[in-house]
Amino acid sequence: MTLVEEFTGVRVRAPGKINVFLEVGALQADGYHELATAFQAVSLFEDVVVTASDDFTLAVTGTVDTSGVPEDDRNLALRAAKLLAAETGYDGGVHIDIRKEVPVAGGMGGGSADAAAVLVACDALWGTGLSSRQLHALAARLGADVPFALKGGTAIGTGRGDDLKPALARGRFEWVIVPNPEGLSTPSVYGELDRHREQHPVDIPAAPETPDVDADVLHALRAGDARMLAAALRNDLQAAALRLRPDLAEVLEFGEANGALAGLVSGSGPSLAFLAESAEDARGLQQTLERAGHEAIHVHGPVHGARIV
């Protein structure tokens, strides 16, 4: 038997994301904020392989620093497998191998992509045959960004960010990502935004009653126009992330002065995303950032959501 025939696992790839627009509303009773966001899946992928096992185990490697990633029940991927087993009555286990490309705790949804990939992979491995609607419901229970990692592409998220509608997007957008070695915790960034809004109402607009994605963003995505999108990029978490990590502001300015149409903090940060006009401009910007001592990765979006490969 050849090696290929012996492989009885399932391999799924799921993408990281950038929030090209993120408006954050008020804190709700459940500890989440109501928000309106435009997600774009980008070409940094989590590669997840699941194989049959009696218990639930996990191993994490990657092209990014994975030393901070827990391999126990704190890991959303393991929780995803256990949730699927509990919901379907599957009584075996699984071994999960994750190879990460998405920066850890970087605001690009890497952990959410892992969870989405595990749902799709285990559903295939175990033959539990859930519909995409059922997978979406489980994804939403795991985290606000997990449903988007299932879907991919470009989408509008409301509610916690998990109520998704596809957005029409033409063409391809070129991005340069600058990861940061020191992650930021998502709850602490949301907490900082709430504090900032309360203490400095003059500096920062109050939480909108009903968050909504600006029409300019939708137009720019539909037109496939990077210049238009650059003018419409917005992230309400950026001010909070920059208060926690003032060093990021300088990198944002450096990128914008060196060929980016615009830059923004990705999600809750600290990864930065710079939008470029063309693939060539993105390569130039990547090299300039690298020469200045920053890690920089050229990616594009939109790309597909979690799927078996």
**Closest C-alpha among 19, 39, 50, 184 to residue 104:** 184
- Of the pair 186, 286, the CB lying nearest ligand C5P is at 186
Q: x/- contact string, 180-199, with ligand C5P (CB under 6 A)?
A: ------xx--x---------
Interface characters, 129-158, with ligand C5P (x: CB under 6 A): --------------xxx-------------
Residue 263 is which amino acid? G
Phi, psi of 151 (to 5 degrees): -80, -50
**How many other CB atoms are found less than 10 A from the CB of residue 129?**
9
Is the Cα dihedral 183, 18, 272, 266 positive or negative? negative
Q: Rounded to the nearest 5 degrees, what angle is found at the Cα of 108, between the Cα atoms of 107 and 114? A: 115
Q: What's the closest the beta carbon of residue 6 comes to ligand C5P, in angstroms?
A: 37
- Interface with ligand C5P, residue 161, by CB under 6 A: yes
- Return the residue of 9, 32, 79, 290 that touches ligand C5P, per CB under 6 A: 32
Q: Is 214 a catalytic residue?
A: no
CA distances 235 to 124, 175, 269, 272, Å, are 36, 16, 10, 11
Single out the residue of 274, 41, 288 nearest to residue 174, CA to CA. 274
From 47, 145, 162, 281, the catalytic residue: 145
CB nearer ligand C5P, residue 112 or residue 180: 112
Instruction: Choose between 31 and 89: whose C-beta lies nearer to ligand C5P.
Output: 31
Asked if 302 touches ligand C5P (CB under 6 A), the answer is no
What stretches of 63-153 adopt beta strand conformation (E)?
93-100
Q: At closest approach, how far in Å is the CB of 172 from ligand C5P?
A: 27
**From the list 33, 136, 151, 298, which residue makes contact with ligand C5P (rule: CB under 6 A)?**
33
Q: Minimal distance in Å, beta carbon 295 to ligand C5P?
A: 24
Q: Is 30 a catalytic residue?
A: no
Determine the angle formed by the axes of helices 247-257 and 237-244, rounding to 10 degrees: 120
The span from the CA of 171 to the CA of 154, in Å, is 11
Of the ranges 25-33, 41-49, 54-62, 301-309, which one interacts with ligand C5P (CB under 6 A)?
A: 25-33
E strand or H helix at 189: helix 186-199
Q: Quick check: helix, strand or coil at residue 66?
A: coil
Residue with smaller CB distance to ligand C5P, 60 or 240: 240
Does residue 276 touch ligand C5P according to CB under 6 A?
A: no
Interaction with ligand C5P in 35-64: which residues (CB under 6 A)?
35
201 binds ligand C5P per the rule CB under 6 A: no
Q: What angle do CA 148, 152, 154 make, to 5 degrees?
A: 95
Q: Parallel, antiparallel, or unpaired: how do β-strands 262-265 and 234-235 relate?
A: unpaired
> Of 31 and 293, which CB lies nearer to ligand C5P in the complex structure?
31
Residues identified as active-site: 17, 145
**Which residue ranges make up the site for ligand C5P (CB under 6 A)?**
31-33, 35, 143-145, 160-161, 186-187, 190
